[in-house]
A and B are shown apart, each in its own frame.
Chain A
């Protein structure tokens, strides 16, 4: 079983719509959760981190965390063509020691004009 799972997509949304990206994780004791955006051919860049249950908003982005369901999501409001990228979910890995993150394989988002 994969430790961090994401739908690979592509997820296509029209410009101006809300894009909803989902991620599930298997380690119940994980405490830190991250969303990274990766444009084609580029390195991942941090969008948001979330540590507590509930919603966290930053501009057009909202991260949602439900530890009981082991589920974290990213909502992008008023989607723009520039949001077209692969979105990586990452979870801190407590097993085996060390300060490590486990990444999902990413969801490709396409925002269409």
Chain B
């Protein structure tokens, strides 16, 4: 069965510090991968998605970036965090070619920028 991991689970960072969040998926090959952010009391905002190694699509211009160095690894980064980057960051995966758009979420990383 497939499993998705995210770490760290929680993170408190000062404004202007760098960020690296990691997501890995087990039990599947060449998944579609997604990064979402959920700000307090708000909906899910799609940040990036990837259909393969090195292939990243950005949905929202901001100070975040994403990379996919391996088939089942997806990384979210920032060089300098802003207060507005606080939120719940969720990684999701989708099985390609199954005729379904179902996405499955990881446990998430709660980021607080102070």
Contacts and interface: CB of A to CB of B under 8 A. Distances in A.
B105 A43 contact: yes
Contact of A45 (B42, B44, B51, B105): B105
A43 B107 contact: yes
Interface residues of A, number: 21
B76 to A, nearest CB: 15
B100 A49 contact: yes
B90 A43 contact: yes
Contacts of A46: 102, 104
Q: Is the interface of B mostly helix, strand, loop or mixed?
A: strand
Contacts of B44: 44, 88, 103
Contacts of A103: 43-44
B103 interface: yes
Interface of A: 32, 34, 36, 41-46, 49, 88, 90, 92, 98-101, 103-106
Interface of B: 32, 34, 42-44, 46, 49, 51, 57, 90, 94, 96, 100-108, 110
7 contacts: A34-B102, A43-B107, A88-B43, A88-B44, A99-B51, A99-B101, A106-B43
